[in-house]
Amino acid sequence: MSLRQKAIDTLLANDRGGFTIPTSGLYPHQWNWDSAFVALGIATYDTDRAWAEVTSLLEGQWPDGMVPSIIFRSDDPDYFPGPSRWGVTPGPIPSTGVSQPPVLATVVRHLTPDAPDRRAAVFDALLRWHRWWHDARSVDGVVCTVHPWETGRDNSPDWNIGLAAMESAPDLAPYTRMDNKHVDATYRPTQDQYDKYLTIVQFGERIGWDQRRLTDEGPFLMADPTIHFVLLRANRDLLAMAQSLGKDAETCMEVQGWIDTGLAATDTFWNDDLGAFCARDIRSGALTAGFNNSSALCFYADAGTPDQRARTVANLRRIAGKVAHMLPSWDPDDPAFEPQRYWCGPVWPQMNYMTALGLDEQGEPDLAAQLRDGLIRAIEASGFWECFNPLTGAGCIGANFSWTAAVWLSWNADPRARQAV
């Protein structure tokens, strides 16, 4: 069987009728940015089904515009924390109370160059979601995050500053983790981290998921390069769609304002000592000190000064000399690097997809090819895993993973990447 057919079979096996789970057992629900990347892969063989993935995700949008990180279409006892732990949320479908990096507008623009009706059908929902980010999560012009889970990079060392500054709730309700039932615990977040993750959830549930209060009063508040750069690019794509659809000047000016604000906020993330874009704790002002796979998303967002980009490239080339498969999620020269522990080192397909795309667009095709080649070789050797050991290419965490299959299919259909595939 061809690798392409295996990728398609992976997506079909994870299809739950209009939405796709990341993988069975470990992740039995619909995840936000997973579905966006999944749509890219499905579109290479079934455009109608790809579009259903987009619209099913937006079915869970809250009245305030937020699209949650997870939509719970069932209460699967094999997953924790499920809907009962998040409490009553205001959306039309039970969900988490936080969001995820808003890549969807970029995906929609990619999927609909010749489908203005489809683009128009979801434009208002996308606009409302982006407005939510700027209204509910912005602090002094910087879009922030209230939970490591909202970033998608759950246990990245980026969050250690913010987590260290908070205490686990003394009355934290007891719980039993289910992730370690499916995966070796040494590859997953620690118990202390999980206690703090659930402390934030408990706080949010107790304030009725008032999103502005969660930002202003919650126990964790950091600025995340992934959210910043993904949103900046998504705002550009949203503006392009607004213009193509003939939206009114007020709407276009609003989105342009978000772009201008995002560009102005980019220096917030710059660590000049490291020569990299890093996370920042909003309350203390402290920057993290590790180059990671969100640092190079500046190219994807078309952001940063020429000097900042040059120093980012220098870090990428340094790291490429340390690993067999680019791009590790944490700097292998840093003591916090762990090649198989979730976001502390492994290569992540969706991050490689965005970073390679940005590098191609901004005049670094050789580095882009390195990122694609490193991931493709790992997939060819190990299969469609959630992420991969950057030193060996071995698969990590979840097998038969949807976004890995989708990224491979998308690259296989892209003339720029076809030679590498």
Q: Length of the chain in residues, anyone?
A: 421
Exactly one of 15, 59, 76, 154 is catalytic; name it.
154
219 close to 137: Cβ distance less than 8 angstroms? no
User: Which three-class secondary structure state does DSSP give residue 299?
Assistant: helix
How far the first Cα of the chain sits from its last, in Å, is 16
**Would residue 386 show up in a list of annotated catalytic residues for this protein?**
yes
Phi first, then psi: give them for residue 393, nearest 5 degrees. 85, 0
Residue 396 CA to residue 394 CA, distance in Å, equals 7
Exactly one of 34, 237, 331, 386 is catalytic; name it.
386
User: Which residues are 223's β-sheet partners?
Assistant: 280
Q: Positive or negative, the Cα torsion across 366, 340, 41, 380?
A: positive
Interstrand relation of 222-223 and 280-281 (parallel, antiparallel or unpaired): antiparallel
Q: Find out whether the peptide bond into 81 is cis, omega within 30 degrees of 0.
A: yes
**Would residue 331 show up in a list of annotated catalytic residues for this protein?**
no
Residue 374 CA to residue 369 CA, distance in Å, equals 8
Give the DSSP H/E element, type plus range, for residue 142: strand 142-143
Name residues whose C-beta falls within 8 Å of residue 227's C-beta, 6 or more positions apart in sequence. 101, 102, 133, 143, 145, 150, 151
Tokens of 140: 């002094």
Q: Which residues are catalytic?
A: 154, 386
